[in-house]
């Protein structure tokens, strides 16, 4: 089974159909690997890569912009069976950070590479940064200008949420995996690292559960949201209750909010959505998609 999300950022109603189509395509790509007997790790990477290439989502092409108008992408992938992890953070102009995160995992020397050094590692793999400006969309230019205008006039805080994309999967061998990718928040300082590339915060997978989170990145980091869900499941709490308890804890401690997708070893699924978070899923009995609902 595979479950995909397209982030908890603000979404205009006229974008709903495009977002639903995007997460459906991503789920289908991951499921094709699972249906052929492939592994959960490869499935989540394939799904996330589809979303990175879709300019509707805040990952890869279409990423949120820093204060100086540049793109810095982040991603993480984790194999629940082996606890192998690969992540990249604050990497300039990288169209498919999930591919480089997977390479970090497979190399096994480090867990996280950050900034221009991650680009040098990517170059060793034959992966070049995108041409300057190629990942920038008009929608994100407009959102950056809006945020900058609010900052200059000291008016009410503007919505800086960017969104995130992610996938969790369980293969026929019983392996769980999770992957997350993002361009971060709008108008962030250059070098800011969010929750997505940090194991246990925005991304986690072990033999108990696989989780990909989205929302208030600083809040997710402060409570180690995804690891908290898995720890509760390991302690005997059902997945649905574990997710609810973890999200409630995040809000009580930080005042922030988040959404997540999660899958456990019995293929039970829980999705806690923000009001406009797109999701899609495919399993042996079929699939579906939704925006703004609670699925369990």
CA angle 25, 28, 34 (to 5 degrees): 155
Q: Is residue 75 in a domain? A: yes
Q: Provide the mean pLDDT of the chain.
A: 93
Q: What is the pLDDT of residue 162?
A: 66
Domain assignment present for residue 258? The answer is yes
- 160 pLDDT tier (thresholds 50, 70, 90): low
Alpha carbon 130 to its chain centroid, in Å, reads: 20
Active-site residue identified among 66, 164, 180, 276: 164
Tokens of 211: 């989780």
Residue 164 lies in a domain: yes
Residue 193 in domain: yes
Q: Which pLDDT score is estimated for 163?
A: 82
Reading the block at residue 293, the tokens are: 């609902």
Q: What is the CA radius of gyration of the chain?
A: 17
Q: How many domains would you assign to the chain?
A: 1
Tokens 């006229």 belong to which residue?
14
Pairing label, strands 72-79, 85-92: antiparallel
| Residue 134 lies inside a defined structural domain of this protein | yes
- Condensed to tens digits (0 to 9), the pLDDT of residues 164-219 reads 999 999 999 999 999 999 999 999 999 999 999 999 999 999 999 999 999 999 99
- Continuous H helices in 224-292: 225-234, 239-254
Q: Which pLDDT score is estimated for 9?
A: 67
123 part of a folded domain: yes
- Which residue has tokens 């997350």? 180
Which CATH number characterizes residue 261's domain?
3.60.20.30
More confident residue, 288 or 86: 86
H or E element, residue 32 = helix 16-35
**Domain extent for 116:** 2-291
* pLDDT computed for residue 195 by the predictor: 98
User: What is the model's pLDDT at position 156?
Assistant: 54
Active site residue 153: no
Kindly report, residue by residue over 6-36, the tens digit of the pLDDT. Answer: 998 667 888 889 999 999 999 999 999 999 9
Structure tokens at 75: 């991603």
Helix (H) or strand (E) run with residue 269 in it: strand 269-272
Tell me whether residue 237 is in a domain: yes
Q: What gap in Å lies between CA 277 and CA 285, rounded to an integer?
A: 23
Residue 296 resides in a domain: no
């Amino acid at each position: 089974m595979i479950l995909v999300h397209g982030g908890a950022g603000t979404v205009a109603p006229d974008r709903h159909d495009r977002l639903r189509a995007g997460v459906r395509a991503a789920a289908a790509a991951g499921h094709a690997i699972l249906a052929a007997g492939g592994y959960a790790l490869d499935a989540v990477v394939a799904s996330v890569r589809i979303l990175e290439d879709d300019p509707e989502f805040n990952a890869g092409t279409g990423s949120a912009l820093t204060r100086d108008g540049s793109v810095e992408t982040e991603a993480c992938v984790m194999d629940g069976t082996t606890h192998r992890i690969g992540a990249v953070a604050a990497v300039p102009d990288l169209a498919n950070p999930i591919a480089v995160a997977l390479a970090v995992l497979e190399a096994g020397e480090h867990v996280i590479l950050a900034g221009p050094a991650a680009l040098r590692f990517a170059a060793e793999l034959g992966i070049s940064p995108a041409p300057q400006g190629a990942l920038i969309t008009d929608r994100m230019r407009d959102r950056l200008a809006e945020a900058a205008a609010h900052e200059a006039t000291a008016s009410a805080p503007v919505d800086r949420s960017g969104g995130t994309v992610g996938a969790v999967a369980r293969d026929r061998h019983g392996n769980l995996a999770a992957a997350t990718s993002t361009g971060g928040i709008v108008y962030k300082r250059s070098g800011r690292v969010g929750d997505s590339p940090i194991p246990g915060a925005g991304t986690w997978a072990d033999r108990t559960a696989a989780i990909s989170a989205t929302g208030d990145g600083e809040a997710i980091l402060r409570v180690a949201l995804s690891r908290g869900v898995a720890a509760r499941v390991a302690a005997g709490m059902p997945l649905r209750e574990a997710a609810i308890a973890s999200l409630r804890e995040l809000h009580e401690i930080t005042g922030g909010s988040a959404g997540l997708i999660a899958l456990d070893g019995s293929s039970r699924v829980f999705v806690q959505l923000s009001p406009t978070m797109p999701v899609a899923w495919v399993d042996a009995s079929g699939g579906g998609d939704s925006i703004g609902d609670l699925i369990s």
